Each structure stands twice: as C-alpha cells, then as structure tokens.
Chains A and B, each alone.
Chain A
Amino acid sequence: MSLLILLIVIWIAISGEISLENIGVGLVLGLILLWAGGRAMQVQYFTPPTQRWPIRFWRIFKFSIYFLKELIAAGLSVFVSILDPSRLRPGVVAVPLDLTSGAEITLLANLITLTPGTLTLEVAQDRKTIFVHTIYLDDPDSFRANIKDGFERRIQELSQL
C-alpha cells in the first residue's frame, strides 16, 4: 500500500504537475507495476519498524545530511587528486562487515561507491567481507576503522528504526 503511494508520487514527480488525471494515471500504472512485480515485492527486505514515524523521518533526514556532507568533501578531494596525480596511492582493502541483511549491505556498498575516491569491487560469498578500492590509502587499518565508524555505524542506527 505504501509502495503504491510511493509509485504515484514518483509518477507525479516525473510528469511534473499535480492534477486529478495524473493521480489517476499514476494509480493505474502503480497497480500494473505492483501486479507485474508480484512476488518480488512481497519479500521482507527490512526489519519492520518499531519507532514512530517522526523519529524515523528525523533519522533518515540526519543520515542524508551526513551523506551529502561526505559526498561534497570527498568530491573536492578527488578534484585535487585529479589535478595532482603524483599523490595517488591506490589500494584494495578488505573491510569486515557487521551488517547482515542483504538490504543493509547493498546500501553500504552503494554509499561507498557514491562517495568519490572509493569503489566497491566485490562482496565475498559468505557476506562477511567487502572489498573496497580507494585512490588514496594511508594505512589500511585506519581506512577500515573510518568506514566502520562512519557509514556502517550509521546504517546500523538507521536499520534499528
């Protein structure tokens, strides 16, 4: 149900005006998509929420702000390292994971790839390690601690809604 509302909102966003016709078309398209998605939609990806919704929205908001800050700061550092390639020290680091569910690992991998300078290469078969390529590596241990303390802890907080 909430998924249907989300689909309608997306449709209104890309069609660009709020009108009765658009809501109707969005409703029909959303129903078709839900019907076509079928069983895939019914899998429980996240643990069901326990907190009330204002708290959840506040946490998601805080997380996005943190993420945007990280994105811009890292973007500027990549900017500098492109203009001065002699400082490059690339490396591939194995980061052990504490997260367990598929959705959380996907989110973490995507966020790592989105922050410029780091790139998720591979997730181990047993879902316990993630391999990250980074363009400027001082010390593998501090890099690991950085990711665990920054993104992973926050995602854990986020998933305990």
Chain B
Amino acid sequence: MAVFLNVLSFFFLVFGAVFIFVGGIGMLRMPDLFLRMSATTKTATLGVAGMLLGTAIFFGELGVVSRAFAIFIFILATAPVSAHMIGRAAYSNGVPLYEKTVIDELREHIDEAKLNNPVED
C-alpha cells in the first residue's frame, strides 16, 4: 500500500513537471503574446496542481494536504485574474497579434465605439 501511494505520488509529480516543461517550450515557440499566455499560464496551473497533488499524497498528513489544497485553490483563484489583467493591458497597449489570426472581433468593437463617440479616451 505504501509503495503504491509512493508510485502514485511520483506519477503526479512527474506529470506536473512535464506539464510545466511543455509550458516552457510553448513560451519559447509560440508566435505572439496571447498564444504564449494561453500556453504558459494554464499549463503552469495544471502542472503545479499535479505537483501539489503528488506532494499531498507523498506526505499524507492532514496538515500538508490542507496546505497543498490551500495553495491549489489560491492559484486557481488568482491565475485567471492576472492573465486577464495582463491580456487586457497588452491588448489596449497595441501588442500585435499573430499574422495567422483568423478574426478579431474585439478590434471591430473598439473601432465602432471610437466611431460613435470619438472624444473618448
């Protein structure tokens, strides 16, 4: 039983580490900021979740499990907020999108708003 739990915890640790690693590759290879954010922030969330789960299983004490769970909930609550803030700020600052982007309905929306009341900003 103990061996089984150890193997399980190491499986989750390796899973999380590989996910973080792939997120790192994505950060280098992806062509624009928004794709990079999609690739990194979320794989990092999932990877850290996996590693924390592995840690929790490895120790198996109430204190450690509750702490790992607290970190997980905290990351789950904050990661999208910061990603959204950076994405919004970057978009309104004119960071270019990848040239293969199919459609951009937000640009149309902003142009329309500027047309309707040009004095805004």
Contacts and interface: CB of A to CB of B under 8 A. Distances in A.
Partners in one complex: yes
B98 A78 contact: no
Nearest to B18: A79
A116 interface: yes
Given A16-B64, A121-B91, A133-B34, A94 B109 contact: yes
B80 A14 contact: no
B106 interface: yes
Nearest to A109: B84
Classify the secondary structure of A's interface with B. mixed
B66 A133 contact: no
A52 interface: no
Contacts of A118: 38
A89 B98 CA distance: 9
B121 interface: no
Interface residues of B, number: 48
B31 A85 contact: yes
A120 B84 contact: yes
Given A12-B66, A16-B66, A90-B102, A110 B25 contact: no
B37 interface: yes
Interface string A72-83: 101100110011
A113 B83 contact: yes
B3 interface: no
B79 to A, nearest CB: 7
20 contacts: A13-B67, A16-B66, A78-B26, A82-B22, A82-B29, A83-B25, A91-B101, A94-B106, A94-B109, A110-B81, A114-B45, A116-B39, A116-B46, A117-B38, A119-B37, A119-B83, A121-B34, A124-B109, A133-B34, A140-B105
